[in-house]
Amino acid sequence: MTSLAADQNSNLFVRTVELPDIPNLLSLLPAEGGLAWINGLANNQIGIVGWGEVARSSFNGPERFSRAQRWWSQQCSSSTGNEPIAFASFAFDKDPGTSVLVIPEVAVTRNQNGTQLTITSNIAISDSHLAGVISEINRPHVVAQGINNVTWLPGSRPVSEWQLAVDNAVARINSGELDKVVLARDIVAQLDQPIHIGALLIRLNESFPECWTFCVDGLVGATPELLIRREGEHVTSRVLAGTMRRSRDTDRDGQLAAELLDSDKDQEEHVYAVESVAAALATHCTDLNVPNRPFILRLANVQHLATDVTGELVDAAPALALAASLHPTAAVCGTPTERASHVIRELEGMNRGRYSAPVGWLAANGDGEFGIALRCALIETEDRKTLRLFAGCGIVSGSTGESEVAESQAKFAAMKSALE
């Protein structure tokens, strides 16, 4: 179903102007309610930040992507002036879970063409209003860096139960029921003070500049996995599957990377993920480039097998439609998809919500970027003191419950280090 707000189609007034360069976009964000999609170091951030809210709509069910595209098209067709920008975060499953699109009042974009300010309103945007927003952006921004004391609480199920679920999944894979399944688990962070979202995003970006730091409707994180980028006719998807810990010793770290590249278990997991992405993009693209071997993507806490798949569109599909075609990939669900989805519902023991689903931004011309919402947390309470963290692991025939628990702990470290 679609929220009532989706049926309210008021005219939007949009005004976009050039700004002097702002290399640190995240410094503009408030303590709460900010929106973000950022890649790169603090002195060279590429992406979009936003705040305020002109329009939003929520969507549920198996048609959530198509309904979201229809609502977004309606908003764009009713806009006057320049083109609006929206942020989006989708539910992993058709049920339960609610997907959301948000059109911010203010958005600041930085890319290869420079820095732009986009203001969207339900009334005409005066020169004085524009000047006021620019003045606010140009003032010095001091972001509180204090981090709260954190109490860690169990998630939806005990770790021992989740480990048994992994062993159960491995047995079912070995019996031939399916090839791969991704099982996730959660933990809860209880803070003594409200989290400053802007400060949290800055800490994530500083630790993981190779990732896409995001915040949409209370879901905040730094994902290393780009589901889809659409730039005109060119599309890119970064596929991750296969994980190894890092070492502070350079030689040992290199050995671990070599072990990851030589691991039959991790290579098998990675092939399933790449094949699922390539198959989905093949229906939209020509000149599809799928490298034969993955590369090592090193992050602060873990290293991954990674493959960048690229192609050229033949059907003008917008970014949102491409995300719908790709989701869920084998990297976050498994293969065969329907069988893996069934096993997830049976064994996982929690509601993923918007975890491991598309999150990102979209433009009126069909361009946009969506990552997979990984290494993230959901701010669960209005006082911003309770966050639920998620981590998932790909299970194949060579997996063990013990090793997957260790991998999930390593993946939790991204958000835990930013909170502590």
Give me the active site residues, please.
180, 225
**Six token digits for residue 38:** 């950022």
User: Please, are residues 397 and 269 in contact by the beta-carbon 8 Å criterion?
Assistant: no
If phi > 0 it is left, if psi is from -120 to 50 it is alpha, else beta; for residue 38 that is: beta
User: Mind giving me the DSSP string for 55-86?
Assistant: EEEEE-STTHHHHHHHHHHHHHHTEEES--EE
Output the CA torsion 398→402→405→410 (10° steps).
-80
Separation of alpha carbons 401 and 168, rounded Å: 9
* E-state strands within 54-208: 55-59, 79-81, 85-89, 99-103, 106-111, 114-121, 150-153, 180-191
Lookup result for tokens 């962070």: 189
Closest CA to 156 of 350, 416, 347: 350
